[in-house]
Homo-oligomer: A and B are copies of this chain.
């Protein structure tokens, strides 16, 4: 409702955003519990007590990281979903968008924390996430429905969606930015694997 802070001038460094970014990286690398406030403070050149000027608790930092991850990936995939291309091209664009957030340098720490540290969220924050998460997953369910209608897939069930998102989300475990495969290539290969080849072509 009310603005929580006065508008920062263009030059003014956003220390809060710095903390969220550092927290995201450390939560991703070491996990939430193994990351200390002193780690985060050190990463942005502060003393140990200072992050609490920007966040009330460590839990609030996790909340900020996870929300950033979920809104970023939702926005990216929603854009791809509404691109108005063919079902196959739309689907592949959604795969690219999801993988781009998950594996790309700008978003991966937020997204990976979202995937792996939700266990440490307070119940209240968790409830806050569920709505956003349901909305995100329904985008994929709709995409599968469209693919089935186009005859490109046999199974558009919820389990099929869970398998698909599993294959996608597991890429975090094995993808290496300096490896031989680009994100677009991975998206293409997964689309080939999941989609039936149209008969008689």
- Report which A residues bind B (CB closer than 8 A): 30-34, 116, 119-120, 154-155, 157, 159-160, 162-171, 173-174, 181, 186, 189-190, 192-194
Number of copies: 2
| Cβ of A197 to closest chain B Cβ, rounded Å | 8
Residues of chain B lying within 8 A (CB to CB) of residue A181: 159
Q: State in angstroms the CA–CA spacing of A65 and B101 once bound together.
A: 32
Q: State in angstroms the CA–CA spacing of A163 and B189 once bound together.
A: 10
| Cβ of A80 to closest chain B Cβ, rounded Å | 19
Do A170 and B162 have beta carbons less than 8 Å apart? yes
Do B193 and A119 have beta carbons less than 8 Å apart? no
Do A170 and B159 have beta carbons less than 8 Å apart? no
Do B33 and A31 have beta carbons less than 8 Å apart? yes
- CB-CB under 8 A for A166 and B160, given A119-B30, A194-B193: no
